[in-house]
Amino acid sequence: MRLAQRVSSIQPSATLSINAKAKALKAQGQQIISFGVGEPDFPTPHHIQQMAIQAIYRNQSRYTAVGGIDELKTAVADTIEADYGLRYTPEQVIVSCGGKQVLYNLMQVLLEPGDEALIPAPYWVSYPDLVTLAGATPVAVPCREQDGFKLTAERLESALTESSRMLILNSPCNPTGAHYSREELSRLAEVLRARQDLIIVSDDIYYRILFGGEPWCNLAMLDPQLRKRTVIVNGLSKTYAMTGWRIGYGLGDPAIIRAAVKIQSQSTSNPCSISQWAGVAALRGDQSEVKTMVASFEQRCRFVVDSLRSIPGVTCPQPAGAFYVFPNVSHYYGKQAQGYAVDSSLEMAEYLMEQAHIAVVPGGAFGEDRCIRLSYALAHEEIKEGLSRLAQALQELR
């Protein structure tokens, strides 16, 4: 069967593949502990579920406007005004089937062959492939562990070329949990101000999952000139434990949003009408469960980081948010145990899956092969057991 070349130009999503593998092994009766895919382990809050049920009974089950119902777009704009201090009109908002589709639309709208998109590494697995699908070139900008795996002004400056068209910044970051402070963003902004042709994609999907009272900030909030060419990507999946409902949203220049709606009109049309109404309840309703979830992630984060750092040879940057850790396990590369030779993050993930029955995502998929990613949105007992299996499996490598 002849398939289009674009299929072989990308990889399947590593996070979703690991999830599928862990689920298949569990179905065969294996006691797999899955630190694989990143999704909250909480149920969707009850009042959001109720709104969806009512939407079904009210027959809110027809096609909606392609870019989302006005009620949801207005709720998005009001939420962003409250949390970012920035006012957007509903014409500057698009609702899509997840933040992932917002990103897909944006790449289709903004990138052409020959364009480069700068992606600080470690990065979320899907960015390079989404850029490639638009025919453009993803350029990974390696960030150092001693910088907390964050992009610095110097690294940004030296990565910029005449072909640079886009910077994708994700804070708090998947996979590291790193968050850029206002000062750090200001230093990046100095470089960005000189490049008015550069579009900034600010993937803020974890912005509500910030620890220690850390104040939220992104590049659009720094000055109006940057705001004009920043597109905000966000969604309900993480904040409201709604990964399966598939509601994401984007905000930015009306011409960009109109173009994204046009692309969406020829692909998926509107996101699920029932999910959109549930989304209105999520954004307009009681936020106390979000606080509870964030507090629980923070508590688990402390335990996970302490446990990882107590394993000889493992280093782990301190996350400021999200629900991932990204430990450097390369101390154990070049070693062997039980017939497994481990020399890369992929081999490490395979070894851990087969021998310790824990699922982790290889750091190579995030552009940093020395690390592995663990999502700790699991019950405490599972985390404890999983980390003890990890520590043992690592120390068996000689």
Return residues touching ligand GLU (CB under 6 A). Answer: 13, 15-16, 37-39, 100, 125-126, 174
CB of 227 to ligand PMP, least distance (A): 20
How far does CA 272 lie from the centroid of its chain? 21
For ligand PMP, give the closer residue by CB, 99 or 363.
99
Return the closest-CA partner of residue 39 out of 202, 204, 209, 171: 209
Per 3-state DSSP, what percentage of the chain is helix, strand, and coil (rounded to 5)? 45, 15, 40
Q: What distance in Å separates the CA atoms of residue 179 and residue 185, rounded to the nearest whole number?
A: 10
CA–CA separation, 131 vs 262, rounded Å?
Answer: 19
143 vs 394 by CB, closer to ligand PMP: 143
Nearer to ligand PMP, 124 or 180 (CB): 124
Q: Are 39 and 50 in contact (CB under 8 A)?
A: no
Q: Which does 13 bind (CB under 5 to 8 A by kind): ligand PMP, ligand GLU, none?
A: ligand GLU
C-alpha atoms less than 13 angstroms from C-alpha of 278 in its C-beta half-sphere: 28
**Kind and range of the H or E element at 169?**
strand 164-170
Look at residues 118, 67, 119, 63 and name the one whose alpha carbon lies nearest to residue 90.
Answer: 67
Number of chain residues interacting with ligand PMP (CB under 6 A): 13
Assigned token pair, 143: 């960030």
Is 234 in contact with 30 (CB distance < 8 Å)?
A: no
> What's the closest the beta carbon of residue 108 comes to ligand PMP, in angstroms?
16
| DSSP calls for 178-219 | ----HHHHHHHHHHHHT-TT-EEEEE-TTTT-B-TTPPP--G
For the CB of residue 97, give the shortest distance to ligand PMP in the complex, in Å: 7
Give the Cβ contact number of residue 174 at 10 Å. Answer: 26
Please pick, from the candidates 44, 105, 202, 237, the single residue that binds ligand PMP as defined by CB under 6 A.
Answer: 237
Residue nearer to ligand GLU on the CB measure, 13 or 186? 13
Q: Which is closer to ligand GLU, CB of 280 or CB of 353?
A: 353
Q: What is the footprint of ligand PMP within residues 96-135 (CB under 6 A)?
A: 98-100, 124
Task: Say whether residue 285 binds ligand PMP (CB under 6 A).
Answer: no
Here's the x/- map for ligand PMP, 141-180, by CB under 6 A: it reads as -----------------------------x---x------
Cα dihedral angle (271, 276, 282, 285), rounded to 10 degrees? Answer: 160
Closer residue to ligand GLU in complex, CB, 130/316: 130
> What is the pairing mode between strands 199-203 and 164-170?
parallel
Can residue 13 be called a binding residue for ligand PMP (CB under 6 A)? no
Helix axes 99-110, 254-265, angle to 10 degrees: 110
Instruction: State how far the Cα of 231 lies from the Cα of 248, in Å rounded to an integer.
Output: 13
* Closer CB to ligand GLU, 358 or 397, in the complex: 358
Report the nearest approach of ligand PMP to the CB of residue 205 (Å). 4
Half-sphere exposure of 65 (CA within 13 A, CB side): 15
Select the residue whose beta carbon is closest to ligand GLU and give its number.
38
Kindly tell me which of 69 and 97 has the beta carbon lying closer to ligand PMP: 97
Residue 10 contact among ligand PMP, ligand GLU, none, beta carbon within 5 to 8 Å by kind: none
> Looking at beta carbons only, is 88 or 324 nearer to ligand GLU?
324
Of 93-101, 157-165, 325-333, 336-344: span binding ligand PMP (CB under 6 A): 93-101
Closest distance to ligand GLU from the beta carbon of 124 (Å)? 6
| Region of 75-83, 235-243, 266-274, 376-384 interacting with ligand PMP (CB under 6 A) | 235-243
Separation between Cα atoms, residue 226 and residue 39, nearest integer Å: 31
**Minimum CB–partner distance for residue 351 and ligand PMP (Å):** 25
* Residues that bind ligand PMP in the complex, under the rule CB under 6 A: 38, 98-100, 124, 170, 174, 203, 205, 235, 237, 243, 248
